[in-house]
Amino acid sequence: MMRSTLFFLTFLSCLFSPTQSQAQDWPNLKRFQEANQALTTPDPMNNRIVFMGNSITEGWKRVRPSFFKDHPFINRGISGQTTPQMLIRFRQDVIELRPKAVVILAGINDIAGNTGPMTLAQTANNIFSMAELATANNIKVYLCSVLPAFDFPWSPGKEPAQKVIELNAKIKAYAIKNGHHYVDYFTVMADDRQGLPKELAQDGIHPTNKGYEIMEPILLNALNATGIYKKQ
């Protein structure tokens, strides 16, 4: 009887406990550790700009590698991540790299519920906390609008379109109030459903080459307008 009880308790423990890797590195801190260590100290001009985000940021470098090769941009996007995960790794993957600026594009996976239910206020507050960490370390902040989304292929039925609009309003208001630049991709990319058209994102979420082609000059114009970076 004691042996069967012990077996049952062990079974329940395995069933409801997270895997060892998930428990040890939920924010995926190991992902960029070696790459971060390999970076040299920024030059005196320090034009280094770090991109913090999820698969939309990660995919940017894969789809448009020249954009990162031709500019002093460091991509620190991790597919599937939510803002609490980014906030945990923000010091390691942004602050300790000593950039001049950070470009934050985050929030869509929170709406999708990738790491559990979250309110828009919670998501916004995580983004604001990243901005405040950056400001405290003399890093200029560029807060990007969340891209339009009509539905999630991996989590259908969440009706994200209006939530994205509401989250962007919070991000924009915070940026204006705190002297950060708001990078508005949403306005020029949204279709009449307030989602992304197929030519800009085949799955409705992740930009195609054409989608990134639209995003790039918007961001570069923002960087140029504020004098943070001008390509020579």
Which pLDDT value is given to residue 91?
98
Assess whether pLDDT exceeds 70 at residue 4.
Answer: no
The pLDDT tens digits for 187-206 are 999 999 999 999 999 999 99
Which pLDDT value is given to residue 228?
80
Could you give the strand order of the β-sheet that contains 181-183, starting from the edge strand earlier in sequence? 73-77, 49-53, 101-105, 140-144, 181-183
| 135 C-beta neighbours (distance < 10 Å), count | 15
Stretch 148-168: mean pLDDT, rounded? 97
Stretch 14-25: mean pLDDT, rounded? 53
Stretch 25-33: mean pLDDT, rounded? 97
pLDDT band at residue 22 under the 50/70/90 scheme: low
> What distance in Å separates the CA atoms of residue 122 and residue 35, rounded to the nearest whole number?
30
**pTM (2 decimals)?**
0.89
Domain locations in the chain as residue ranges: 40-225
> What distance in Å separates the CA atoms of residue 85 and residue 78, rounded to the nearest whole number?
10
The pLDDT tens digits for 106-144 are 999 999 999 999 999 999 999 999 999 999 999 999 999
HSE (side-chain half, CA atoms, 13 Å) at 184: 11
pLDDT band at residue 148 under the 50/70/90 scheme: very high
> What distance in Å separates the CA atoms of residue 74 and residue 169, rounded to the nearest whole number?
27
40-225 CATH choice from 3.40.50.740, 1.10.3720.10, 3.40.50.1110, 1.25.10.10? 3.40.50.1110
